[in-house]
Amino acid sequence: MNALHRLRSSCLVLSLLAGSLGAQDVTVARLVAEPAKLTLKAGETVPFKVRAYDAQGKEIPDPLLRVTGPRTAVQVGEERLTGLRAGSFTVVASAFDANRGESATIEIPVLVTWPALARIEISAESGRLVPGVVIAHTAKGSHADGSLRYPLTVTWRSSAPSVASIDRFGNVTGIRPGAVTISAEAEGVVAQRQYTLTANPVASIELGIKESSINTGDVVRLIATAKRANGTPVPDARISWSYQYTPDDTIAAPGGPGIIDHGLFAPNAPGRFTLIAQSGAAIARTVLDVKPRDVRRRITVTGRGNINTTHTSDLWPWTGKDGRDYCLVGTWGGDGYGMVFDITDLNNIVKTDSIKVDARTINDVTVSPDGRYGVLSREGASNRVNGVVILDLANPAHPKIASTFDQDLTGGVHNVFATNDYLFAISGGQKYIIIDVRDIYKPKYVSEYKHPDARIHDLWVRDGIAYSAQGGVGTVVVDVGNGKYGGSIEHPKLITVFPINSGHEIYPYFQKSTGKTYLFIGDEEMDRSGRVWEGTNYFGQMFNSGGVAQTSGGYTHIIDFTDPMNPKNVAKYHLEDYGTHDIIVEDDMLYQAYYDGGVRVVDVSGELLGNLADQRREIAVFKPYDPKGFTANAPFVMNAMPWKGQVLFTDFNSGLWAARLEPKRPVTP
């Protein structure tokens, strides 16, 4: 992955022309921002440009620039800047050249103010407000143009505190029958909600939880029915849930042992959990005995495809037309070499050939499902005409170049996705181009999709739906041939956008056991100053004055996407000290390239809730230390994929690896 592009994926970038680092021969001596400082309102877009000059004062065309700022506060586009939330912020612009690295930098102060608040809306949890019941309320503020005020601080009041009281967080507690008005006020704008409390009709609660013994990470549906004294249900009764926890003898100091969310419960730690349902004075309890989830398996390296003369990027395995297995591997900063390995015997991986193309980096590689063609993405071509290189795999051990395609792709192609008939290629982070590759020697432009004010980094296509990770907006889902949502390959149509502060990697997964569709969405942060990395950080050395070591960060979000129009952020796989890269899920197992955290295999079976890392769902972890690597003993896993019962992964510093998950050992009584 191009290092400058990597920085773009984790922060805001104004201008980064995808050429090699050597493409800019003139050293930038001075940067000038126009204007030098900005004042604007949230939601407003203003002109903004950074110009570069050499030592003689001559403007440099198309400089290599990186412009960064807080993603949640401002959004930088081509010659414009948009305010997202109020506050005083700093945007930093830096220029790079091949010899000195960062050659010039400036700071641009940005002041964003809120427009006048126009409206407040009050929302409440479901259920009837009666004495003894607590219902949470939230307030949402908006401006005259409909944009939201966030955060919004309101003052909550109750017109009759003896009937129902309210705290500063909006939690309303019913006290006695009567009428009451709840109000939220901010900046002179007031919203109200009226209640009439009657006597609580609930006399008892009947639990519908059948489980009595589960494992950590298992999800239990919280089912309870409130009933009157005569035994009839009270359908609108508000039932609140809590739990009491008694740790087992392996937990000395438990913290956050369980989760209750969206009517679900999941334990993180083993022990006994007493689930408590309450509605007013009516209470019901049930006890769960939670056992530790034990999915751990030993992982053993079986083979290597060593690459120690350059950095390694992506991989893609396939079965060739000759019946043997192969793996296509890309290189980062490797002068355009793609490599082919015979992996039929994973104990004896053999390099069969290499393909040289005009590029500095081949970040992404892929092969069509039918094994007919392969693709090398190109970044940093000498003439800045990048695009993709399409390979004829008729002789899989020795591919030959069938064609190149660069229409609307000259900004550099970072990621691609292949189907048998069509290729999806990301164009400079701006959009994706759809290419007809039924004749790989004559590829044709079909269509494209560009989402406004977003930076696309990755996409995956399944069942005619394109799922893309786009910085600035979140997950963008488009009908590209499914047809259910009115789209086609020639005329892509937006289905929905799920706003999430993560725009790096994405993988859609259908889980057979539950019938749910989950989206696994990866973060990436490559700028975490103050953290010490356990290896030699190439990126810290390259892009920080003095070679300040930094570590990767971010984690994998897990979204319940079963209903595309009502997605829910339900779980995550989060390790504090590392950052995610490529993601694959197969047979309820997550294969996660976790950069300096190595390759990690995680159990994602059953319904998911909470942090999988806390629930002992990690099956295996391996960090590929190699004293002969391009950077010695510095694990940095870029991609991991399951292949015929084993795990293939590429390491940035040491090439291709194969490993086997050993069978789970039986427990000896």
Instruction: Please give the Cα distance from 461 to 270 (Å, whole number).
Output: 39
Upstream peptide bond of 35 is cis (omega within 30 degrees of 0): yes
One-letter amino acid for residue 424 of the chain:
F
Q: What is the mean pLDDT of residues 165-176?
A: 93
pLDDT at 665 over 90: no
List, as one string, the DSSP characters of 414-443. Answer: EEEEE-SSEEEEEETTTEEEEEE-SSTTS-
Band of pLDDT at residue 531, cut at 50, 70 and 90:
very low
Instruction: Please give the Cα distance from 499 to 43 (Å, whole number).
Output: 16
E strand map for 35-86: 38-41, 45-47, 49-53, 65-68, 74-77, 80-83
In a domain, 665, yes or no: no
Do both 356 and 248 map to the same domain?
no
| CATH number of the domain to which 186 belongs | 2.60.40.1080
CA distances in angstroms from 470 to 277, 502, 509, listed in the order given: 41, 8, 19
pLDDT at 182 over 80: yes
Instruction: Please give the Cα distance from 385 to 383 (Å, whole number).
Output: 5
Measured between its terminal Cα atoms, the distance across the chain in Å is 49
In a domain, 13, yes or no: yes
pTM of this prediction? 0.74
pLDDT at 15 over 70: no
Instruction: Please give the Cα distance from 584 to 507 (Å, whole number).
Output: 6
pLDDT at 124 over 50: yes
- Determine the pLDDT at residue 545: 34
Domain that holds residue 280: 204-291
List, as one string, the DSSP characters of 211-234. Answer: -SEEETT--EE--EEEE-TTS-B-
The tokens 């006597």 sit on which residue?
A: 199
Token pair of 81, please? Answer: 């800047």
**Range of weakest confidence among 17-26, 474-483, 572-581:** 17-26
Number of structural domains in the chain: 4
Contact (CB, 8 A) for 370 and 411: no
Among 64, 83, 113, the domain boundary falls at 113
The tokens 């999806």 sit on which residue?
A: 424
- Determine the pLDDT at residue 102: 57
**CA angle, residues 570, 575, 576, in degrees to nearest 5:** 115
Among 450, 483, 499, the domain boundary falls at 450
pLDDT digits (tens, 9 = 90+) for 655-664: 999 999 999 8
pLDDT digits (tens, 9 = 90+) for 474-522: 899 999 999 999 999 999 999 999 988 766 789 999 999 999 999 999 8
pLDDT at 544 over 80: no
Do both 151 and 285 map to the same domain?
no
Chain-centre distance of CA 378, in angstroms? Answer: 24
In a domain, 420, yes or no: yes
Instruction: Please give the Cα distance from 438 to 318 (Å, whole number).
Output: 19
Are β-strands 101-113 and 38-41 bridged in parallel, bridged antiparallel, or unpaired?
A: parallel
In a domain, 456, yes or no: no
Do both 91 and 211 map to the same domain?
no
Do both 47 and 178 map to the same domain?
no
Do both 442 and 308 map to the same domain?
yes
Do both 315 and 437 map to the same domain?
yes
Contact (CB, 8 A) for 349 and 304: yes
Longest dimension (CA), the chain: 91
Instruction: Please give the Cα distance from 656 to 644 (Å, whole number).
Output: 16
Instruction: Please give the Cα distance from 238 to 225 (Å, whole number).
Output: 10
Among 250, 271, 291, the domain boundary falls at 291
- Determine the pLDDT at residue 539: 44
pLDDT at 195 over 90: yes
DSSP H stretches of helix in 296-432: none
Beta bridge partners of 553: 525
pLDDT at 38 over 70: yes
List, as one string, the DSSP characters of 448-461. Answer: EE--TT-EEEEEEE
Do both 160 and 268 map to the same domain?
no
Instruction: Please give the Cα distance from 413 to 34 (Å, whole number).
Output: 30
Do both 92 and 160 map to the same domain?
no
3 state DSSP class of 389: strand
In a domain, 566, yes or no: no
Do both 443 and 311 map to the same domain?
yes
Token pair of 282, please? Answer: 């009516």
pLDDT digits (tens, 9 = 90+) for 214-256: 998 999 999 999 999 999 999 999 999 998 887 675 554 455 7
Closest CA to 63 of 105, 16, 99: 16
Do both 234 and 99 map to the same domain?
no
Instruction: Please give the Cα distance from 521 to 255 (Å, whole number).
Output: 26
| CATH number of the domain to which 442 belongs | 2.120.10.30
Task: Report percent pLDDT > 70 for the chain.
Answer: 89
Do both 318 and 392 map to the same domain?
yes
Q: What is the mean pLDDT of residues 391-412?
A: 94
One-letter amino acid for residue 215 of the chain:
N
3 state DSSP class of 502: coil
pLDDT digits (tens, 9 = 90+) for 77-104: 878 999 988 999 999 998 876 455 557 8
pLDDT digits (tens, 9 = 90+) for 321-366: 999 999 999 999 888 999 999 999 999 999 999 999 999 999 999 9
Do both 285 and 313 map to the same domain?
no
- Determine the pLDDT at residue 171: 92
DSSP H stretches of helix in 348-500: none
In a domain, 141, yes or no: yes
C-alpha dihedral (252, 255, 258, 262), degrees to nearest 10: 180
In a domain, 638, yes or no: no
Dihedrals phi, psi of 458, to nearest 5 degrees? -145, 150
Contact (CB, 8 A) for 572 and 557: yes
- Determine the pLDDT at residue 23: 42
What Rg, from alpha-carbon coordinates, does the chain have?
A: 28
In a domain, 316, yes or no: yes
| CATH number of the domain to which 222 belongs | 2.60.40.10
